[in-house]
Amino acid sequence: MSKKGHLLVVIAILVALTGVFTVSAQDAVEVELGEITQRIIDRGELICGANQNLVGFGFVNDAGEFEGFDVDTCRAVAAAILGDATAVSFRPLTGAERQAAIQGGEIDMMSRNTTWTLSRDVVWGSIFGPTTFYDGQGIGTRADLGVTTGMELDGASICVQTGTTTELNIADWVSANGLDIGIQVYPDANSTWEAFVSGSCEAWTTDKSGIAAFHATSEDPGALVILPDTLSKEPLGPLSPAGDEQFAEIIAWTVFGLITAEEEGITSENIDEFLDSEDPSIGRLLGIGDNISGEYLGLENDFMVEVIRQVGNYGEIYERNLAPLGLSRDGSVNALWNNGGLIYAPPFR
């Protein structure tokens, strides 16, 4: 046997003796539940800060129930921890109420068209989960003004809601472009929108998704336009109070699970066909056999099965809530990464 051959035999014996380099399924872990996770389990319910005024994202439907894309993130987390997507109590929050809510301990998490920023990470004391919707600030106006870009609004006035990134960005944009635009500030989305509709200002500004949502509910959507300008980046997603990383991991991996389910073609309709899948990636996502994806998070190994069954995958959630607003996903940054977008999940490994 050559020297190289001897070396390989010695390495093989060492590996066999020490167990080093062995390929196991997933090594057992013991996870201590965080304070927030524990209180959700004790209470039997998740408390989620939400929007009640934004059709498609977070609003109260005719039956008095919270509904929408952001609301479904709360439901997915409840299904992950408690196995029940309906075990959620929603706390409506305006833009300006968010900081106190995340700091005051009255909510477990927030999922409410909230932009991830440096100061919200640090000053609010929050842990942002994965971005679920990549947005940007836009300007809505009346079609009959004949305005084609934001700059042509020089001399006009714009309505904006306080306590938002929107309020800060519009001030930056007006001053950076040396425009003479009056900024009128309102306390919440409805009053901002109504001020625009009643003619108090020629235009209004918020996240483009928010403008699309309000325009879709107007009496004559065709009379309104969203200008092509994008004033900012507004990555929107769930967040939770700093100090409980374990709960934050649950939020993050529930969202990643929704995205992975879409990648794998697993839906609320067809999930049962995957429960005995021999595909290793699907096995890890759904906790099949000796896969312990849930154990890493202090959850049932098959936690994603209930999430997908009750709430659907990312694509289903998007289609159900946002497609009716005309927020087409194809070709947008909110498409899956393998379809040209930014929606991407790390591996369940």
Site residues for ligand GSH per CB under 6 A: 51, 53-54, 94-95, 113-115, 161, 164-166, 188-189, 206-207, 210, 234, 236
Q: Which is nearer to ligand GSH, 34 or 130 (CB)?
A: 130
Residues contacting 176, CB < 8 A, separation 6+:
none
Shortest Cβ 65–ligand GSH spacing (Å)? 17
Q: Which is nearer to ligand GSH, 204 or 253 (CB)?
A: 204
Shortest Cβ 189–ligand GSH spacing (Å)? 3
Q: Which is nearer to ligand GSH, 53 or 260 (CB)?
A: 53
Q: Which is nearer to ligand GSH, 206 or 291 (CB)?
A: 206
Shortest Cβ 231–ligand GSH spacing (Å)? 12
Tokens of 60: 């109260």
Q: Which is nearer to ligand GSH, 132 or 206 (CB)?
A: 206
Task: Write the single-letter amino acid at 89.
Answer: S
Q: Which is nearer to ligand GSH, 165 or 301 (CB)?
A: 165
Shortest Cβ 163–ligand GSH spacing (Å)? 7
- The answer to whether 340 and 329 are in contact (CB under 8 A) is no
- The answer to whether 308 and 271 are in contact (CB under 8 A) is yes
Shortest Cβ 151–ligand GSH spacing (Å)? 23
Tokens of 312: 């659907």
**Tokens 């509709």 sit at which residue?**
197
Report d(CA 96, CA 93) in Å as an integer: 8
Task: Write the single-letter amino acid at 123.
Answer: V
Shortest Cβ 19–ligand GSH spacing (Å)? 49
Rounded to 10 degrees, the C-alpha dihedral 140/323/131/31 comes to 150
Cα 197 off chain centre by:
29
H/E stretch holding 264: helix 245-264
**For ligand GSH, which residue has the nearest CB?**
210
Q: Count CA atoms closer than 13 A to 314's CA, side-chain side.
A: 27
